[in-house]
Structure 1
Amino acid sequence: MSDTSYTEKRSYFDRMLTLYGRKPALEALRDRDLDCQTLHLAHSNREGGIVGELLAAAEQRGVTIKRHSREELARISRNGKQDQGVALDVLCPAFQSVESYLNNLEGKPRQRLLALDGITNPQNIGMIVRSAAAGNIDGLLWSRKGNAAPGPLVVKASAGTLYRAPVLTCQALPEALQQCQHNGFEVCTLEADARIDLFAYRPAGHCIYVLGNETDGVSVAVSKLAQQGLSIPMNNGVESLNVAVTASLIAYADRM
Structure 2
Amino acid sequence: MGKKGKERVLRGRAGRMKGGRGSGRAGKGAVRLWGRHAVEAALKNPARQHRKLWATHEAIEALDGELPHDFPIEYADNPDLDRLVSRDAPHQGIVLDCEPLETVFLEDVLHGDPSRPLVVLDQVTDPHNVGAILRSAAAFDACAILTQDRHSPPEGGALAKAASGALETVPWVRAVNLARALDQVADAGYWRLGLAGEAEATLGEALPAGPVAIVLGAEGPGMRHNIAEHCDALARLPISETMESLNVSNAAAVSLYAIAAR
Q: TM-score range by the shorter chain?
A: 0.5 to 0.7
Asked if 1:156 corresponds to 2:161, the answer is yes
Distance of aligned partners of 1:249 and 1:124 in 2 relative to their CA distance in 1, 3 Å threshold? same
Is structure 2 residue 36 aligned with structure 1 residue 28? no
Amino acid at match of 1:134: A
Q: 1:115 corresponds to which residue?
A: 120
Aligned to 2:87: none
The 3 A distance-change label for structure 1 pair 20 and 252 is same
Q: TM-score, normalised by structure 1?
A: 0.66
CA 29–62 in structure 1, closer or farther in 2 if over 3 Å, else same: farther
Q: Which has the higher helix share?
A: 1
* Distance (Å, rounded) in 2 between the aligned partners of 1:219 and 1:129: 22
- Aligned pairs for 1:2-81 (under 5 A) are 20-21=31-32, 28=39, 32-35=43-46, 36-39=48-51, 50=54, 60-61=70-71
Does the aligned pair in 2 maintain the 1:136–1:252 contact within 8 Å?
Answer: no
Give the alignment partner of residue 139 of structure 1, picking from 131, 140, 144: 144
Alpha-carbon contact 1:196-1:229 (below 8 Å) kept: yes
Q: C-alpha offsets along residues 138-165 of structure 1, whole Å, 9 cap, x if unaligned?
A: 2211331211122211101111221112
Residue of structure 1 equivalent to 2:14: none
Unmatched runs of 5 consecutive residues or more in structure 2: 1-28, 58-66, 74-95
Q: When you count strand as a share of all residues, which structure comes out higher? A: 1
Residue 110 of structure 1 deviates from its aligned partner by 5.3
> For residue 210 of structure 1, what is the amino acid of its counterpart?
V
Unaligned runs of 5+ in 1: 1-17, 41-48, 64-85
**Change in CA separation of 1:38 and 1:224 when aligned onto 2, cut-off 3 Å:** same
Count how many residue pairs are aligned between Structure 1 and Structure 2.
199
**Counterpart secondary structure, 1:96:** coil
Provide the C-alpha distance between the structure 1 equivalents of 2:97 and 2:32, rounded to a whole number of angstroms.
Answer: 6
Contact 1:28 1:34 in 2 (8 A): no
- TM score, norm. by length of structure 2: 0.64
Residue 88 of structure 1 aligns with which residue?
98
Distance 1:97 1:205 in 2: 22
Q: Secondary structure at the match of 2:108?
A: helix
1:216 aligns with 2:221: yes
Q: Considering only aligned residues, what root-mean-square deviation do their CA atoms show, in Å?
A: 3.3
Identity of aligned residues (%): 25
**Alignment match, 2:238:** 233
Where 1:60 maps in the other structure, the secondary structure is coil
CA–CA distance in 1 between the matches of 2:252 and 2:33? 31
Q: For the residues of structure 2 that align with 1:153 and 1:128, how far apart are their CA atoms?
A: 13
Distance 2:141 2:169 in 1: 15
- Equivalent position to 1:167, from 169, 172, 181: 172
* Partner-residue secondary structure (3-state), 2:109: helix
